């Protein structure tokens, strides 16, 4: 199985880091690749009780011998990149190799400035972004005024591109947002300061990955963000500015769809969301508080509390369809121990009409209320279970029922944050 995609099936933070790490230890992964997003991601890996978080770096960075690739579809903040690399180096861990596409776009300081002021300007309508400059960097890319990694190596070209990028932005910053203008020189100086360190990492990553696949090497594409945060398929406008769905892997890496063998959707046994936007199964009661507390639902990148709710099988089916999932990896089943009955959303009610699939319009989705089925719960601590048969009968039934509703077979189930706290259901 040479090309595997791991992606988020809900609104992010499903445990993609754990799934990626698990795969890199289960089989030899030659390449671990990020294809979209940037340092808005926060992926947790727990090895022998020690916790690591990756943001812009692919999680395979913690696996020596694995080549880590930041693909052309990623937006790269050089400052965040080296901060993250230096923090890992300071922890004295052996790191895998890192290569970066010269075509990846750069997040400059003005992108995060604009991200933050735009959010402030939106007031109660804000998206709740991570403030990392992701949206403005992708906007420049699409607007054809972006700066790419390869531009950092030619001072003259860089100056011209930064000048073009700042022209309209400075009007906006000074006249609309009441901020100071940014000079071309300060941006060029800042970006150029990373050029020497970046240069040896820059490669034609599309060629590299295609050649690796030709040699039958294993390539793991580590998704960031998630299906419901996708700019096309998510809850627009409350989304990120990239394509975290399976299709985005191909454009974000320069690899054709015919080369992908497995597409694994990572999904929690319940649902969480950070930032604004509709969330039909969201809880505002003691159950929500309990999920938040037991699940430790605090963001890895921004430290914000995650909103919590029950499992949404409509979202799961949608993710299966939009991504062509070959399987699902369900995490955090252990968090659900100690409920008498566990509600699962099987459909939505929109103004008295039942919807078994995602409603056509965002207006309907905003108005959707969950139609619940109630499954019997269990009380046992399952974090030590390692085989499906070890799970309490009701936990087994919960997994089987969700598998049936979600449209894709379950590959594995997580019963704790640790690498080993996983039950492989179908190998």
Residue from 134, 187, 209, 342 binding ligand IMO (CB under 6 A): 134
Q: What angle do CA 340, 341, 347 make, to 5 degrees?
A: 165
Q: Is 224 in the site for ligand IMO (CB under 6 A)?
A: yes
Evaluated on CA atoms 275, 315, 320, 364, the torsion sign reads: negative
Q: Which stretch binds ligand IMO (CB under 6 A): 8-16, 171-179, 193-201, 251-259?
A: 8-16
Q: Is 229 in the site for ligand IMO (CB under 6 A)?
A: yes
Tell me, by CB under 5 A, how many residues bind Mg ion.
Answer: 3
Return d(Cα 285, Cα 271) in angstroms, integer.
Answer: 15
Q: Which stretch binds Mg ion (CB under 5 A): 38-46, 98-106, 151-159, 370-378?
A: 38-46
Return d(Cα 372, Cα 400) in angstroms, integer.
Answer: 17
From the candidates 30, 39, 43, 312, which is the catalytic residue? 43
Q: Is 14 in the site for ligand GDP (CB under 6 A)?
A: yes
Cα distances (Å, whole numbers) of residue 414 to 10, 330, 336:
16, 6, 12
Look at residue 360 and give its three-state secondary structure. Answer: coil
Q: Does an H or E element contain 354, and which?
A: strand 353-355
> Which residues lie below 8 Å from residue 8, measured CB to CB, with a gap of 6+?
14, 16, 223, 224, 225, 226, 227, 229, 244, 265, 266
Which residue has the closest beta carbon to ligand GDP? 414
What six digits make up the tokens of 125? 């309508």
Give the one entry of ligand GDP, Mg ion, ligand IMO, none that residue 112 binds, where binding means its C-beta sits below a cut-off of 5 to 8 angstroms depending on kind.
Answer: none
Active site residue 355: no
CA-derived radius of gyration, the chain:
22
Site string for ligand GDP, 278-297 (x = CB under 6 A): ------------------x-
Return d(Cα 75, Cα 71) in angstroms, integer.
Answer: 9
**Do 319 and 246 touch, CB atoms closer than 8 A?**
no
Q: Is 184 in the site for ligand IMO (CB under 6 A)?
A: no
Evaluated on CA atoms 215, 265, 388, 386, the torsion sign reads: positive
Q: Which stretch binds Mg ion (CB under 5 A): 12-20, 262-270, 331-339, 391-399?
A: 12-20
**Do 214 and 3 touch, CB atoms closer than 8 A?**
no
Return d(Cα 151, Cα 299) in angstroms, integer.
Answer: 33
Give the one entry of ligand GDP, Mg ion, ligand IMO, none that residue 269 binds, where binding means its C-beta sits below a cut-off of 5 to 8 angstroms depending on kind.
Answer: none
Q: Which stretch binds ligand IMO (CB under 6 A): 36-44, 160-168, 260-268, 372-380?
A: 36-44
Site string for ligand GDP, 332-371 (x = CB under 6 A): x-xx------------------------------------
Q: Which stretch binds ligand IMO (CB under 6 A): 45-53, 102-110, 219-227, 246-254?
A: 219-227
Q: Where are the alpha helices (DSSP H) in 65-178?
A: 78-90, 109-122, 134-143, 155-171
293 exposed, middle or buried (CB, 10 Å; 0-12, 13-18, 19+)? exposed
Q: Is 42 in the site for Mg ion (CB under 5 A)?
A: yes
DSSP annotation of 14 reads S
Residue from 128, 237, 278, 418 binding ligand IMO (CB under 6 A): 128
Interaction residues for ligand GDP, span 37-76 (CB under 6 A): 42-44, 46
Q: Where are the alpha helices (DSSP H) in 176-259?
A: 184-192, 195-198, 205-214, 246-253
Residue from 331, 348, 378, 385 binding ligand GDP (CB under 6 A): 331
Q: How far is the CB of 145 from Mg ion (least distance, A)?
A: 30
Q: Specify the residue, 294 or 300, whose C-beta has the smaller distance to Mg ion.
A: 300
Q: Specify the residue, 237 or 418, whose C-beta has the smaller distance to ligand IMO.
A: 237
Active site residue 13: yes
Residue from 62, 267, 415, 423 binding ligand GDP (CB under 6 A): 415
Q: Is 12 in the site for ligand IMO (CB under 6 A)?
A: yes
> Which residues lie below 8 Å from residue 218, measured CB to CB, with a gap of 6+?
1, 2, 3, 4, 27, 28, 29, 30, 31
Residue from 54, 205, 218, 225 binding ligand IMO (CB under 6 A): 225
Look at residue 291 and give its three-state secondary structure. Answer: helix
Cα distance from N-terminal residue to C-terminal residue, the chain: 12
Q: Which residues bind Mg ion (CB under 5 A)?
A: 13, 42, 300
Q: Which residues bind ligand GDP (CB under 6 A)?
A: 8, 12-18, 42-44, 46, 296, 300, 331-332, 334-335, 414-417
Name the residues annotated as catalytic. Answer: 13, 43
Q: Which residues bind ligand IMO (CB under 6 A)?
A: 8, 12-13, 40-43, 127-130, 132, 134-135, 224-226, 229, 240-241, 274-275
């Amino acid at each position: 199985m040479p090309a595997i995609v791991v992606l988020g099936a809900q609104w992010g933070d499903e445990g993609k880091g754990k799934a990626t790490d698990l795969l890199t230890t289960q089989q030899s992964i030659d390449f671990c690749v990020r294809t979209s997003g940037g340092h808005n991601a926060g992926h947790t890996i727990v090895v022998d009780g020690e916790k690591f978080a990756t943001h812009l770096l692919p999680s395979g960075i913690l696996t020596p011998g694995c080549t880590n690739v930041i693909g052309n579809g990623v937006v790269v903040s050089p400052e965040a990149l080296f901060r993250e690399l230096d923090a890992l180096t300071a922890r004295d861990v052996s790191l895998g190799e890192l290569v970066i596409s010269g075509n990846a776009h750069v997040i400059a300081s003005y992108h995060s400035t604009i991200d933050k002021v735009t959010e402030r300007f939106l007031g109660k309508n804000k998206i709740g972004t991570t403030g990392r400059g992701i949206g403005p960097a992708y906007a420049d890319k699409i607007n054809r005024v972006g700066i790419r990694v390869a531009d950092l190596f030619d001072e003259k070209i860089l100056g011209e591109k930064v000048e073009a990028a700042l022209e309209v932005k400075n009007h906006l910053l000074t006249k609309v947002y009441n901020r100071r203008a940014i000079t071309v020189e300060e941006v060029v100086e800042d970006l150029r300061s990373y050029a020497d360190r970046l240069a040896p990492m820059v490669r034609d990553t599309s060629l590299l990955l295609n050649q690796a696949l030709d040699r039958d090497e294993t390539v793991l594409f580590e998704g960031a963000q998630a299906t419901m945060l996708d700019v096309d398929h998510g809850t627009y406008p409350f989304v990120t500015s990239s394509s975290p769905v399976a299709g985005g892997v191909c454009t974000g890496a320069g690899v054709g769809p015919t080369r992908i063998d497995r597409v694994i959707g990572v999904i929690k046994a319940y649902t969480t969301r950070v930032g604004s936007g509709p969330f039909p199964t969201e809880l505002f009661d003691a159950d929500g508080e309990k999920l938040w507390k037991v699940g430790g639902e605090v963001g890895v990148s921004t430290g914000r509390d995650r909103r919590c709710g029950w499992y949404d099988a409509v979202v799961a089916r949608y993710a299966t369809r939009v991504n062509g999932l070959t399987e699902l990896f369900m995490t955090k089943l252990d968090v659900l121990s100690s409920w008498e009955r566990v509600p699962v959303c099987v459909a939505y009610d929109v103004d008295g009409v039942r919807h078994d699939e995602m409603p056509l319009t965002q207006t309907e989705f905003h108005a959707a209320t969950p139609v619940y089925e109630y499954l019997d719960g269990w009380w046992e601590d399952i974090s030590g279970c390692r085989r499906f048969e070890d799970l309490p009968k009701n936990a087994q039934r919960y997994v089987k029922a969700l598998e049936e509703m979600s449209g894709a077979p379950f590959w594995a189930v997580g019963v704790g944050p640790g690498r080993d706290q996983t039950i492989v259901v179908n190998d």
